[in-house]
Amino acid sequence: MVHENMVICYQGIQRVYRNAVVRFLRSSLSEVFLHNATDKLKEPFQKEWEKIKNDALQARKSGELESKIIDEFDLLSVNHFFNVFDVHYKVLLKDDPDEKHKKPFLNWVKEIKNLRDPLSHPSEEDFTFVSLGNGSHNLSK
């Protein structure tokens, strides 16, 4: 199999980044909120949590997918991270008590979500690396 840029980006964002953030959120919220961690996790999603949960469990209930859900934190997707960090920023990023870095941090979380979107809804064409002229690269077509 050829390692397309899309495959590499999917692995990096959906598997490595997503799983690392889920583990961080699980650990950090559980440490601070103990037995209420799950309730605190759901706070930003009160209206939609049941849909998030049902969507994640649907293929598992039918037997189409066998991967297990460890807990409610495992229901999170990359697109949910912005809301969790926005609501619980002071708890999750204790080293920034004045929230001086909150806006740039949330922008970074949103940028990763924006890169995730075309991975979740791909076209037939692979991403290409486009030079931005400042030594960095943009993954777009």
**67 CB-near residues (< 8 Å, 6+ apart):** 60
**pLDDT confidence of residue 80:** 96
- Note whether 119 and 7 are within 8 A (CB): no
For each of the chain's 141 residues, which pLDDT tens digit applies? Answer: 456 777 888 888 999 999 999 999 999 999 999 999 999 999 999 999 999 999 888 877 877 777 888 999 999 999 999 999 999 999 999 999 899 999 999 999 999 998 888 777 666 766 665 655 555 555 554
- Report the domain count for the chain: 1
Sign of CA pseudo-dihedral 6, 12, 16, 22:
negative
**pLDDT confidence of residue 5:** 76
Q: How many CA atoms lie within 13 A of 64 on its CB side?
A: 5
**pLDDT confidence of residue 141:** 44
Structural domain harbouring 47:
5-140
**pLDDT confidence of residue 119:** 73
Q: Using CA atoms, how far apart are residues 6 and 64, in angstroms rounded to an integer? A: 24
Q: Using CA atoms, how far apart are residues 14 and 32, in angstroms rounded to an integer? A: 26
Which among 19, 12, 43, 26 has a CA at the least distance from the CA of 112? Answer: 12
**pLDDT confidence of residue 27:** 97
95 CB burial (10 A radius; 0-12, 13-18, 19+): exposed
Q: Using CA atoms, how far apart are residues 25 and 5, in angstroms rounded to an integer? A: 28
**pLDDT confidence of residue 137:** 52
| Separation of CA 22 from chain center | 7
